[in-house]
Amino acid sequence: MIFFKKISIYAGIGIIVFFGMNCFNRSPREEVAVLTDAPDVPPPITRKHAARVIVRLETKEVIGELSNGVEYTFWTFGGKVPGKFIRVREGDVVDFYLSNHPSSKMPHNIDLHATTGPGGGAASSLTTPGHTSKFSFKAINPGLYVYHCATAPVGLHVANGMYGLILVEPANGLPRVDREYYVMQSDFYTKGKYGQPGLQPFDLDKALSETPDYVVFNGRVGSMTNEKALTAKVGETVRLYVGNGGPNMISSFHVIGEIFDKVYLEGGTGNPNLNVQTTLIPAGGSAIVDFKLQVPGTFILVDHSIFRAFNKGAIGMLKVSGDEARDIYSGKISDEEYHPDTTTAPETNKKSAATKTMTLAERISEGEKVYKQHCTSCHQMKGQGVEKSFPPLAKSDFLTANKTKAILAVKEGLNGRITVNGKEYNGIMPALQLSNTDVANVLTYVYNNWGNPGGVITETDVQSAH
């Protein structure tokens, strides 16, 4: 009996040792990563342990739109620019499968800035068309990292769209927010100038001289405007994961009308900077920005190297719905004419100056001054506009079709798709904050120049337009 008891004890110890050793040697749990296209972001990671994460990514060369009517041959991770957003946790072991579509003409690989190892994985992932390569890495350092192709010539692969973001969440996670979005800036170099239609080839000379024709968010002009705008509600906190694929330009990232409550500089996860207006993001770098929304409206995302925004495409929208907060932002309270040289004049004189009837010649002369001060940078000196960006005012069927719409465009601004002289434009014209007299005069000037039909706009017309 004692003999059998000893056997039972030894057997129990053996089972404990066996399962104990097995527990210590067991690999982390396995899961397949959720990958998303911009501007979407995979959901936050809620597990409290490391895992073995499988990432499968395909390189593919595709023809897509860089702007309306402008096509480009993109080299991609996942069929779109930027590449898929990848989300893992600090301590995860990542099994990375890189497949190169059989239709590709070039070999491709991947350099993940989150990887500690030769080439960030590039040395182990060179993949010819129709093949799949596998390598593994451990996500040691938390942060937001760029990944890109590093096959020679590296600049060409990056310039054609081969980049994306991978987030390594800290083991304890990031502070919770209500909405997360993925925004990636990049610059493109085409043989044709900005807006020239058709399939545009890559221009090496422009790339070497760092003179891009396009600087865009999420792979094309208008990727986050109008019906494609990001959305949120008053009271919510928004987090933007912002990357810069380059290949050349540094981004001065800014949201017009908002202040970043927190900026995790260069994609790190240490103590954030607080109350930041604009943050620099280098080529091959990133930033995480958080901000709470207090008022409704449309907030404009830009590269504040401002010609890139309004002339090369680096512009997006965040549309915020909800109740007004007049204690934070009032909106326009009044709009009165300002006459600095008559501030001390008697009230009767001010009234007569404001109500003086102007001749057509006087309106045209005063309107020309307003036009040169406010309008020439976009619509040009002779009203010819800028192809694909700013519609022409010369011989404009938009102006002649409906004068009320023309008045409202100057008074209240205009955004969205319009057709002028048979061509589509999709941009933003801010309200110019002009007096009724200035609106009347500048439109009278435009209507009487550059092949337009003539006519006069009065203050009464402006006042009654709605």
From its phi and psi, is residue 44 left (phi > 0), alpha (psi between -120 and 50) or beta?
beta
Give residue 395's pLDDT. 93
Residue 342 has what pLDDT?
A: 53
pLDDT of residue 432: 72
E strand segments, 202-329: 214-217, 230-233, 237-246, 251-256, 260-264, 273-276, 278-281, 285-292, 297-303, 315-321
To the nearest whole number, what is the mean pLDDT of the chain? 90
Report the predicted TM-score, pTM, of the whole model to 2 decimal places.
0.75
Summarised one tens digit per residue, pLDDT across range 56-87 is 999 999 999 999 999 999 999 999 999 999 99
pLDDT the model gives residue 27: 54
Distance of CA 230 to the CA centre of its chain: 9
In 3D, which of 385, 381, 398, 390 has the Cα closest to residue 452?
Answer: 398
pLDDT digits (tens, 9 = 90+) for 30-46: 999 999 999 999 999 99
Which residue ranges of the chain lie beneath pLDDT 50?
Answer: 1-26, 343-355
In this prediction, residue 109 carries a pLDDT of 98
Structure token digits, residue 268: 């790190």
Place of tokens 């798709």: 417
Which pLDDT score, from 0 to 100, does residue 356 have? Answer: 66
Q: What DSSP string runs through 398-466? A: HHHH-HHHHHHHHHH-EEEEEEETTEEEEEEE------HHHHHHHHHHHHTSTT-------HHHHHH--
Q: Are 367 and 449 in contact (CB under 8 A)?
A: no
